[in-house]
Amino acid sequence: MIQKILIANRGEIALRIVRACRELGIKTLAVYSEADVQSLHVQLADEAICIGGPRSADSYLRADRIISAAEIGDVDAIHPGYGFLSENAKFAEQCESCNIKFIGPKSAVISTMGDKAKAKETVKKAGVPTVPGSDGTVDSEDEAIKIARKIGYPVIIKAVAGGGGRGMRIAHNNVSFAKEFHSARNEAEQVFGNAEVYIEKYIDKPRHIEFQILADNHGKVLHIGERDCSVQRRHQKLIEESPSPFLTSDLRKKMGKAAVKAAAAAGYTNAGTIEYIVDGKGNFYFIEMNTRIQVEHPVTEEMTGIDLIKEQIRIANGDKLSFSQRDIKFDRHAIECRINAEDPARNFIPSPGTIGLYYAPGGHGVRVDSHVYGGYVIPSHYDSMIGKLICYGRDRKTAIERMYRALSEYIIRGVKTTIPLHKAIMSDPVFIEGKATTAYMEEFMNRTPSDLFNSD
Judged by the rule CB under 6 A, the positions of this chain that interact with ligand ADP are 131, 156, 158, 162-165, 200-203, 206, 208, 232, 235, 275, 277, 287-288, 438
Residue 49 or 203 having the CB closest to ligand ADP: 203
Shortest Cβ distance from residue 290 to ligand ADP (Å)?
8
Instruction: Identify whether the C-beta of residue 124 lies closer than 8 Å to the C-beta of residue 151.
Output: no
Clarify whether 292 is annotated catalytic: yes
- Single out the catalytic residue among 207, 292, 338, 396: 292
| Residue partners of 55: CB distance under 8 A and separation at least 6 | 33, 381
Shortest Cβ distance from residue 134 to ligand ADP (Å)?
12
User: How many degrees, rounded to 5, is the angle at CA 436 between CA 435 and CA 440?
Assistant: 135
Residue 101 or 208 having the CB closest to ligand ADP: 208
Shortest Cβ distance from residue 289 to ligand ADP (Å)?
10
Shortest Cβ distance from residue 325 to ligand ADP (Å)?
25
Residue 91 or 202 having the CB closest to ligand ADP: 202
What is the DSSP track for 170-191? EE-SHHHHHHHHHHHHHHHHHH
In 104-175, DSSP assigns E strands to 155-159, 168-171
Residue 237 or 402 having the CB closest to ligand ADP: 237
| Torsional sign, CA 120, 123, 127, 129 | negative
Shortest Cβ distance from residue 241 to ligand ADP (Å)?
14
Residue 48 or 271 having the CB closest to ligand ADP: 271
Q: Residue 134: CA atoms inside 13 Å, Cβ hemisphere, count?
A: 25
**CA 296 distance to own-chain centroid:** 6
Among 391, 335, 329, 394, smallest CA distance to 360 is for 391
What is the DSSP track for 311-378? HHHHHHTTPPPS--GGG-----EEEEEEEESEEGGGTTEE--EE--SEE---STTEEEE----TT-EE
Per-residue CA distances from 197 to 159, 163, 222, 371 (Å): 4, 13, 31, 36
Shortest Cβ distance from residue 275 to ligand ADP (Å)?
5
Shortest Cβ distance from residue 253 to ligand ADP (Å)?
22
Q: What are the φ and ψ backbone dihedral angles of 102, each rounded to 5 degrees? A: -90, 120
Instruction: Identify whether the C-beta of residue 203 lies closer than 8 Å to the C-beta of residue 274.
Output: no
Residue 269 or 294 having the CB closest to ligand ADP: 294
Q: What are the φ and ψ backbone dihedral angles of 390, each rounded to 5 degrees? A: -120, 125
Residue 132 or 352 having the CB closest to ligand ADP: 132
Q: Which are the catalytic amino acids?
A: 292
